[in-house]
Structure 1
Amino acid sequence: MASITKRGKSWQIRTSYLDIHGKRHFKSKAGFKTKKEAELYINELNKTASQSDDIGSTIFKEYFDDWAKTYRLPNITKLTAQWYTNTSKQIDKYFGIRDIKEITRRDYQSFINAYGKNRSKSSVSKLNTFIRSCVQNAVYEDIIPKDFTKNIIITFDKSKTRKVDYLNLDEIRRLTQYLISGLNRHFTSRYMILTALYTGARLGEIMALTWDDINFNFKTITISKAWDYTNGGGFKSTKNESSNRVIRVNSEFLNILKELKNNNSNIVFLNQYNTIPSSSAVNKTLKKSLKTLSIKRDGFHFHSLRHSHVAFLLANNVDIYAISKRLGHSNLGTTTKVYAYLIDEYKAKSDVVIDNSLDTLTQDDTYTERIDL
């Protein structure tokens, strides 16, 4: 379907047609002096299209949508799909009917600058990741000769970028002891909070735990599914393949979980109402607990427990690679990126240890000078 719109004093068209091979192409063109001139152009294009090999224009936004539909949307969650929809809207808002072949690296940098003016670094980086994958595909398909997203500088609003919020070691211990002191197997929110502190698992992963996932002999918890709490409940796949993992835990924590085995269900955290506590209910319990302990953390929520778990492991000198695997990250880069602020804090402490260790290179008391006889 063709569309004709007026932009300022001129007219522009957006249409599609099939070439001689039956392949559909998109065409956009601006600068027509009158609407009649634009209509004549569309008619002529449709008339000659079936006789031409000319691939015409490929509107950036429409190419992105087709690429996402073909290569991304079939295998992602609804939440991630919404990100692709939002990215498409941003492309359309900024580039309109611009042909992807016309876009330069300077154009794209200006787009990133405009988008990042009032957004966080993570938001800009995510949008750029989606678009860059699409553009690289366009290069591979010979739609464009160069990747105009290469070496782009991510610009963002620093005030919108939040640091990872977490509890310190003393606060983690106090919260853990407080939760244990008031456990009641009929109300499972406290057990879920403790699970996050002991494992670093995501809320959806914890909600979906069944007794089949817990191995009391080997002291492990298997994460192989998640709970779709944003869409009415039910099991679903984990965030991605790397999220499927086995987490080692201690006997003390497993003994706490055993208290729930009296529930007549395979679902671990089913409460007395035969439901799994909602995100709202668990966060309410968490905030109430922190308030009772006089721990002030504005904006602290359930996912912050995952960050606190990482802080605890780092403080206890656990290797970052082991932490990454425990969290279910696809690669080490994801872990170091998300927890850069935390890692830098503990790096300063490690530097002192390294400094003291290096001093021992010249302080070997067992060294004796060799004497030639």
Structure 2
Amino acid sequence: MNTAVRLCYRADNPCAAVRLPRNQRAGDDMVVLEPEDLDLILDNLLEHYRPFIITLVGTGMRFGEATALHVEDLSLDAHPPTIRINKAWKQDGNRQPFIGAPKSARSRRTISLSPDLADMLRKLTAGRRGTDLVFVNAAGRPIRNNTFWATHWTQAIAKAQNPVDADGVPDPDARRLMKRPRIHDLRHTHASWMLAEGMDMFTLSRRLGHETYATTDSRYSRLMPAQQLVAASVAAAALSRLRPRHPL
């Protein structure tokens, strides 16, 4: 409906004040990728955008935060190297994009980088001015979510799910992507990988820029392998004290 207004098919949007219902679908909306899954996506993505995707999954930044980064926000020679997040893309009353404050006060944060990620960003930004955007599209303009999703992300996912050989013939023996992740799932993937490597929930909450610890805990507590192992051991110990029963 917003598109219809923008194209002058309608004078107003009758859905503007309508709240969407809460998601009641069964199943899990969160898609967490394995490194092998990400490799498949990167292999089918235009090379220009690979550093952008690697940065998203390596930092857990939101799309609007990453695409608003300026070169001066990077401290690649610090110990450890860091990214300072203090802005994000927004939309004004006319749905025009502009760079403004991030989502919340907690969204203003500093994220540490791995050495490999810092090296990649150092090469990407070499010779650039501090006020230049770190990530731009192939034409040198800001990356827009909807355009990137439709033009690059969905195509890379489709190719990873349906691999072909050098002649363009479907290859039934090639490894294929069995998941259908959204771009935002790169943020969930980052959280999952951090927890798997032993990061505590409080540190993860600050790294992701969540307003409260409870937000992080409610979304990712089930992904913590150590706690799951402890819970399984406790459950096993409790069950072992049950009185033995004869098989049916």
TM-score (norm 2): 0.67
**Does the 8 Å contact 1:183/1:190 carry over to 2?**
yes
Asked whether the 8 Å contact 1:183–1:191 carries over to 2, the reply is: no
Equivalent pair of 2:67/2:88 in contact (CA under 8 Å): yes
Q: Which residue of 1 aligns with 2:12?
A: none
| SS in structure 2 of the partner of residue 234 of structure 1 | strand
Q: CA deviation at 1:177?
A: 7.6
- What is aligned with 1:348? 228
Matches within 5 A, 1:272-351: 272-284=138-150, 285-293=152-160, 294-298=176-180, 300-343=181-224, 347-351=227-231
The structural deviation recorded for 1:255 is 1.5
**Which residue of 90, 94, 117 maps to 1:228?**
90
- Name the CA distance, whole Å, in 1 between partners of 2:84 and 2:188: 20
- In 2, Cα distance between the equivalents of 1:292 and 1:349? 37
- The answer on whether the counterparts of 2:222 and 2:228 sit within 8 Å (CA) in structure 1 is no
What per-residue deviation string (whole Å, max 9, x for no partner) do you get for residues 20-73 of structure 1?
xxxxxxxxxxxxxxxxxxxxxxxxxxxxxxxxxxxxxxxxxxxxxxxxxxxxxx
- Give yes or no for the alignment of 1:120 onto 2:22: yes
Distance 1:286 1:350 in 2: 38
Q: Give the aligned residue type for 1:256.
A: M
Taking a change above 3 Å as real, the CA distance of residues 174 and 320 of structure 1, as seen in their structure-2 partners, is same
Aligned equivalents of 2:121, 2:149: Cα separation in 1:
20
Residues 1:172 and 2:42 aligned together: no
After TM superposition, give the deviation of residue 291 of structure 1 in Å: 3.5
Correspondence 1:141-156 to 2 at 5 A: none
Q: Is the 8 A contact 2:41 2:157 kept in 1?
A: no
SS in 2 for 1:246: strand
> Structure 1, residues 67-119: CA drift from partner, whole Å, max 9, x if none?
xxxxxxxxxxxxxxxxxx84xx78xxxxxxxxxxxxxxxxxxxxxxxxxxx93
Cα shift readout 1:137-157 (whole Å, capped 9, x = no counterpart): xxxxxxxxxxxxxxxxxxxxx
- Taking the aligned partners of 1:197 and 1:296, their CA distance within structure 2 comes to 19
Deviation at 1:263, TM superposition (A): 6.8
Structure 2 match to 1:240: 104
Query: Equivalent residue of 1:295, what SS?
Result: coil
Q: CA 1:280/1:207 → structure 2, altered by over 3 Å: closer, same or farther? A: same
Q: Shift of the alpha carbon at 1:180?
A: 7.7
CA distance in 2, matches of 1:181, 1:254: 23
1 or 2 for the larger relative contact order (CA 8 Å, sep ≥6)?
A: 2
Shift >6 Å, 4+ stretches? 180-183, 353-356
In structure 2, how many angstroms separate the alpha carbons of the residues matched to 1:244 and 1:214? 14
Q: CA deviation at 1:225?
A: 0.3
- Given that 2:71 and 2:128 are in contact with CA atoms closer than 8 Å, whether structure 1 keeps it comes out as no
- Deviations 1:291-335 (CA, angstroms, capped at 9, x unpaired): 44322334x211111011111111112111111010011221111
Q: Identity of paired residues, percent?
A: 24
Please say if 1:206 is aligned against 2:66: yes
Match of 2:169 in 1: none
Residues 1:222 and 1:355: Cα distance change in structure 2 (over 3 Å): farther
Paired amino acid for 2:144: S
| Larger radius of gyration between Structure 1 and Structure 2 | 1
Whole-angstrom distance in 1 between the partners of 2:56 and 2:27: 21
The answer to whether the 8 A contact 2:45-2:156 is kept is no
Alignment RMSD: 3.2
Q: Which residue of 2 aligns with 1:268?
A: 134
- Given that residues 32 and 189 in structure 2 are in contact (C-alpha distance below 8 angstroms), is that contact kept between their aligned partners in structure 1? yes
Between the two proteins, the alignment pairs up a number of residues equal to: 199
Which amino acid in 2 is paired with 1:203? F
Structure 1 residues 122-164: Cα deviation after superposition (integer angstroms, max 9, x where no partner): xxxxxxxxxxxxxxxxxxxxxxxxxxxxxxxxxxxx42x6634
User: TM-score with structure 1 length normalisation?
Assistant: 0.47
> CA shift at 1:278, angstroms?
1.6
- The answer as to whether partners of 1:201 and 1:327 remain within 8 angstroms in 2 is yes
Change (3 A) 1:250 1:354: farther
> Per the alignment, in what secondary structure is the counterpart of residue 157 of structure 2?
helix
